[in-house]
Structure 1
Amino acid sequence: MAKIRITKQFTFETAHALYGYDGKCKNIHGHSYKLDVTVIGQPIADTSNVKCGMVIDFGDLKKIVKTEVVDVMDHAIVLNQHTPHIQLADDLKKTGHNVVLVDYQPTSENMVIDFANRIQSKLSSELSLHSLKLRETETAFAEWYASDN
């Protein structure tokens, strides 16, 4: 049977700052991110399965991405834990802000790698993560392809 790719798009609002950067992005600022998640697999052929004909139920994919990415990142401030921003993170946490500390510079490029690892680990063995596209703005995005990695 043929392999099919399916894609679902997700949106979330996240703030970040790039420590040591030489431009405006060194300041805390936010984006309305759009994440396209594409998985590849064979449609279920078992006619007794309620999901016959699906590669993965879009609802099941939504649960994975929502749990692993959207619920974590939405309306959070993402900062690199290995920078002096850790003091800022501690201060923000003390006042009730949602702070996500990562072990990388929180660029779109690094975030998409992180998201790929999180999502792939939750997919069944019959499926593969094919690609991710993370849009930081309408005209700027980072892409991750399994074939490149």
Structure 2
Amino acid sequence: MSNIRITKQFSFETGHALYGYDGKCKNVHGHSYKLSVTVIGKPITNRNDVKFGMVIDFSDLKKIVKEEIVDQFDHATVFNETTPHVELAQELKNRGHHVILVNYQPTSENMVVDFAERIISRLPAGITLFSLKLQETESSFAEWFASDNL
């Protein structure tokens, strides 16, 4: 049986700021992110399996990505916990805002690596994360490929 890639797309709104950056992105701002998740595997060949012919049920992939990324990052503000932004984060938390502190500069490049690790940890046996594409704007995105990270 051939390996097949399947892709599911997700959208979420997230704010962030890049501490120490020399451009406008040093200010708190947000993006309408689009995340494309591509996994690879062999379709199920057992005719008695309710998921016969599927690599992974799209709803199962959706559950993983929703729980690990969308539900956590949607309408949150992300700050690097190792910068003075931690003070701003605490003030926002005190005012009831959803804030995520990460141990990296919250660029699309670093976020896509974080997302890959989260998704990989939840995939069932026989299914491999092939790639992620995190689109920050209409013309700007970061990509992660398993083949680049062997």
User: Is 1:114–2:114 an aligned residue pair?
Assistant: yes
Listed one character per residue, the Cα deviations across residues 90-145 of structure 1 (whole Å, up to 9, x for unaligned) are 00000000000000000000000000000000001210000000000010000000
1:130 alignment counterpart: 130
The alignment yields a C-alpha RMSD, in angstroms, of 0.3
In the alignment, structure 1 segments of 5+ residues that lack a partner are none
Aligned counterparts of 2:57 and 2:101: Cα–Cα separation in 1? 31
SS in 2 for 1:123: coil
In the alignment, structure 2 segments of 5+ residues that lack a partner are none
- Moved segments of 4+, more than 4 Å: none
SS in 2 for 1:9: strand
Letter in 1 for 2:93: K
User: Is 1:101–2:116 an aligned residue pair?
Assistant: no
Listed one character per residue, the Cα deviations across residues 53-112 of structure 1 (whole Å, up to 9, x for unaligned) are 000000000000000000010000000000000000000000000000000000000000
Please give the residue correspondences for 1:9-20 in structure 2 after superposition, counting only pairs within 5 Å: 9-20=9-20
1:46 alignment counterpart: 46
User: Is 1:85–2:85 an aligned residue pair?
Assistant: yes
Please give the residue correspondences for 1:47-62 in structure 2 after superposition, counting only pairs within 5 Å: 47-62=47-62
SS in 2 for 1:44: coil
Listed one character per residue, the Cα deviations across residues 5-37 of structure 1 (whole Å, up to 9, x for unaligned) are 000000000000000000000000000000000
**Number of residues of Structure 1 aligned to a counterpart in Structure 2:** 149
